Amino acid sequence: MKGYPVYTRPLRNNFKILKYKITNNFAKHQNICFCVEIENFHVHLQKKFNMWLFFAILSAVFASATAVLVKVGVRDVDSNLATAIRTSVVLLLSWGIVWFSGTFQQIKTVPKFSWLFLILSGIATGLSWLCYFKALQLGDLVKVAPIDKLSVAITILFAIFFLGETADVKTIVGASVILVGVGILVF
């Protein structure tokens, strides 16, 4: 595995905790033991932990923080201007990560089909953010956030109808619970 071990120490069952600097190949390796230290609090993600779950949880945490930060930041600012400011930060951060990770050269190899759908995705994201910021400016976060999370159930429907993915009973029940939960929280 490529990476730069910063700290290791043995654990029982010959496991090791490894802290790695994040590299291009980091997310591709799923069978590692990873430790995050936050003010002496250790979260051990044991061997065979799927990294997609780790990053999905971080995504949810950052999205939650974003909602609170936006609600405060959009108070005395036009919601469209606030969206533009936030988007500029995301743009700089994203291109900075691409540049420093060395993947910038791959831009030449992105197929036209991918360009089309990435551009459409960017438009959808922009429209989503504009509507979200306006909703946060006009409404309470405790009502806007649950409605925004309807996107989970809608995404499941889109995946079934447009991508041909299958949904088992558990997925359908989960999406239904989300719909009911949003209804309870909002009304």
**To the nearest 10°, the Cα dihedral for 117, 63, 84, 130?**
70
pLDDT at residue 187, as a whole number? 84
The predicted model scores a pTM of: 0.67
Residue ranges of domains in the chain: 5-49, 66-148
pLDDT at residue 8, as a whole number? 43
* C-alpha gyration radius of the chain: 20
Give start and end residues of each alpha helix (H) in the chain: 51-73, 79-101, 112-138, 141-148, 150-163, 169-186
pLDDT at residue 49, as a whole number? 59
CA–chain centroid gap for 21, Å, is 20
**Block mean pLDDT (10 aa), the chain, length 187:** 43 40 43 41 48 84 90 92 95 95 93 95 94 94 92 94 94 95 91
pLDDT at residue 55, as a whole number? 83
Strand partners of residue 98? none
Phi and psi of 110, rounded to 5°?
Answer: -70, 125
Contact yes or no for 103/24 (Cβ under 8 A):
yes
Mean pLDDT of the chain, nearest integer? 79
| Neighbouring residues of 166: CB distance < 8 A, sequence distance ≥ 6 | 160
